[in-house]
Amino acid sequence: MLLYDYFRSSAAFRVRIALALKGIAVERRFVHLLRGGGEQKQPDYLRRNPQGLVPALELDDGVVLTQSLAIIEYLEALKPEPRLIPDDPVCAAQSRAAALAIACDTHPLGNLRVVSYLETELHQGHDAIVNWRTHWATLGLAALEGLIRPAPFCFGREPNIADICLAPQVFYAERFGVPLDAFPKLRTVAAACAQHPAFVAAHPAAQPDADQAPGQAP
């Protein structure tokens, strides 16, 4: 399998965590979201993922999977252990809800294409962008604080799909200076993730493309 990846993408970060937890090795091709106006917008990549987003996972038969949570569900079916979706149906639904609260409701409002539109089309300045990021990230994190039950991970002693989404969102918050002081449960989970080998291996700073030119990415 071939993973189209970018080190600072929250969505790609999720998939890297899942791969590390599952112990699944893949080839990787790096798609720089800023170089040359964005390599994700190039025709060759758009043929694989018409959305022009990362990650994308190309299977051995040429089929390409997109959307991080769909890819994670595929990996769960491909290699059921260790489980990323709990066996208990209630805990599974709660874990998915927490993951979706981040992946669908919080993360998209601060990603590269949204911020770029605010800057280039709506002509918003630096302060307005900072306020936008802080508002939506804080709102999403506050909701998540009420959803999880750290023990020490979001819903128990082992990480699952909720933690896979939480860790990249905390990285995003720290990167853009969003305060986490009001979220003790999130900080507990983030600390547990930061010590877990799979999360360490998947962290943006540990990626081969992390020495790329700096810039704003999702």
- For the chain, what is the HEC assignment? CEEEECCCCHHHHHHHHHHHHHCCCCEEEECCCCHHHCHHHCHHHHHHCCCCCCCEEECCCCCEEECHHHHHHHHHHHCCCCCCCCCCHHHHHHHHHHHHHHHHHHHHHHCHHHHHHHHHCCCCCHHHHHHHHHHHHHHHHHHHHHHCCCCCECCECCCCHHHHHHHHHHHHHHHCCCCCCCCHHHHHHHHHHHHCHHHHHHCHHHCHHHHCCCCCCC
What homologous superfamily does CATH list for 2-82? Glutaredoxin (3.40.30.10)
CATH 3.40.30.10 segments of the chain: 2-82
Beta bridge partners of 29: 4
- Local confidence band at 216 (pLDDT 50, 70, 90 cut-offs): very low
CATH 1.20.1050.10 segments of the chain: 89-200
pLDDT 10s digits, 4-50:
999 999 999 999 999 999 999 999 999 999 888 899 999 999 999 99
Name which of 10-24, 39-53, 85-99, 203-217 the model is least confident about: 203-217
Mean per-residue pLDDT over the chain, rounded: 95
**Per-residue model confidence (pLDDT) at position 212:** 63
- Local confidence band at 145 (pLDDT 50, 70, 90 cut-offs): very high
Q: What is the mean pLDDT of residues 195-206?
A: 98
User: How many Å apart are CA 162 and CA 154, to the nearest integer?
Assistant: 6
Give the residue from 71, 16, 69, 64 showing the smallest Cα distance to 44: 64
What CATH number should be reported for the domain whose range is 89-200? 1.20.1050.10
Q: Whole-model pTM above 0.85?
A: yes
Structure-token pair, residue 109: 């409002």
Rounded to the nearest 10 degrees, how much is the dihedral formed by the CA atoms of 36, 41, 66, 202? 10
